Each structure stands twice: as structure tokens, then as C-alpha cells.
Amino acid sequence: MMPTLKEIVEKPDTVHGRAFDIAIQILIVLSLISFSIETLPHLPPRMRHWLHYVEIFTVGIFTIEYLLRLIIADRKSSFVFSFYGLVDLIAILPFFVWPGVDLRSFRAFRLLRLFRILKLVRYNRAVRLFHRALLIAREEVILFLAVAAILLYLASVGIYYFEHEAQPEKFASVFHGMWWAVATLTTVGYGDIYPITVGGRIFTFLVLIIGLGVVAVPAGLVASALSRARELEKDGEPVLDAAK
């Protein structure tokens, strides 16, 4: 039995549909790699040519794909204004509107399509589990984000007062202090900005002790919520009741 066009394009759980989906996703990745390579400085002109062909080819296929989805859709307007419909359009539009301009980075949105492949097999379960866990831990996560934001602001103001006089260039304002607080509380520590006064260093120490405690919390929350989500899953409770 020949597969219908609808089956190929819209049903990623059939054999032909899955093949179509994977082919499109490979093209997306190819297009992203080509886009990344194009940003490299000192590219030989020949390479640029090849990348341009890849660009024309991928956009061509994406345009055909978009038209196919549009033709097949039962209600045209609901497809055009659906989330994936808009994503698909944004991914090809720049090529036709500003042919010379390099706006292919919009195609990054198409990466969202990669989630489709995850939907196949049994990944519905993993996504559902995360959804449940999020519902369970929602309140704690919001509370935690609020505490983190307040801590970040207080750290920024504090370090500004401690370091502004000693390093007027680096800690020029509270916003500079905020950049320091982001790099420090996430423990990235680039080393472009750090306290040199005794007061600033003791302050850093105190901020880090509290800050690491705050950072350690989400891991615990996620573990706890996922563990509970799994139990509820086993008991067969519907998702909406999970937060009760």
C-alpha cells in the first residue's frame, strides 16, 4: 500500500513519516553547520561558494516542506499561525525577503523540531515525567528564583561599596558589581573582575556560602520532584492531580 503524502509529512510514527522527519532533521543540522562554518574568518572563496549552494539547497527543501504541510493541512490558517507553522515560515522567509542578508541564524528556531524525534518511541513518558515534576516543584522553584534574584542584587550592591574605591574602573557601578555577582555565584569565575580589598574578599566568602546553598537547592528539588513524579506515574494518577 502506497503511503499517502499526509502520512509521510504529518505522521512521524509511521515508517515513511519517520524517514521524512529524520531527513528534514539531518538537513537542519547540515544547514546549522554550514551557517557556523560561514562565520569563520579567512574562508577561501571556493568554500564560500559551496556553502552558498548548501544554503540554496536546504532552503529549497524547507520551502517545499512548508508548502507540502500547507497543502495537506485541513485548515490552512490554523497551520500558518500554529507554533511550528510560524517556525517553519521564519526559517525560510529571510532568504526570500533579504536575499543578500545573512539571516540564516533564524533557522536555529528549527532546532525545536528536533524535539519531534524525541516524541517518537517512548519519549512521551520522559517528557510527561518532567512535566509532572515541574508541577510538583513549581512553588519551590519560584520561591528559589526570587531568593536568588534578591541575593544577586544584594551581592552586587555590597561588592560595589567594598570595591568601588579600590578599583574604580572595574567596579564602576552596581551593574558592574552585578556582572561580578553572576560570574561568582554561578562559580564560573572568569577572572576579569574580582575583589582585592579585605572587606570585599570576606564579603565574597559570605555571599558564596549562602549562594552555594541556594544553588544546591534546585538539584535537591528536581531529585525529590522526579522521584515523586515517578511514583505517581506508577500509580496511574493523571498529570493534573500531581500537584495536589
Least distance from C-beta 182 to a copy of itself, angstroms?
A: 5
Contacts of 233 (CB under 8 A, 6+ apart): 125, 128, 129, 132
Q: Residue 130 and residue 73: Cα distance in Å, rounded? A: 30
What string marks each residue from 34 to 63 as x (binds a copy of itself by CB under 8 A) or -? -xx--xxx----------------------
Among 19, 23, 64, 212, binds a copy of itself (CB under 8 A): 212
Contacts of 142 (CB under 8 A, 6+ apart): none
Q: Residue 168 and residue 123: Cα distance in Å, rounded? A: 53
Can you spell out the DSSP letters for 191-211? SSS---SHHHHHHHHHHHHHH
- Residue 146 C-alpha from the chain's centroid: 21
Among 228, 233, 237, 239, binds a copy of itself (CB under 8 A): 228
Among 50, 53, 98, 205, binds a copy of itself (CB under 8 A): 205
User: Would you count residue 26 as binding a copy of itself (CB under 8 A)?
Assistant: no
Minimum CB distance to a copy of itself smaller for 5 or for 213? 213
Closest to 30 (Cα-Cα) out of 73, 71, 62? 62
Among 23, 78, 114, 241, binds a copy of itself (CB under 8 A): 114
- Residues 183-202, interacting with a copy of itself (CB under 8 A): 183-184, 186-192, 194, 198, 201
Q: Residue 119 and residue 138: Cα distance in Å, rounded? A: 24
**Size of site (CB under 8 A) for a copy of itself:** 72
Among 86, 208, 210, 239, binds a copy of itself (CB under 8 A): 208
Closest to 110 (Cα-Cα) out of 130, 92, 137? 92
- Residues 121-160, interacting with a copy of itself (CB under 8 A): 122-123, 125-127, 129-130, 139-140, 142-143, 146, 150, 153-154, 156-157, 160
- Residues 161-180, interacting with a copy of itself (CB under 8 A): 161, 164, 168, 172-175, 178-179
What letter represents residue 82's amino acid?
S
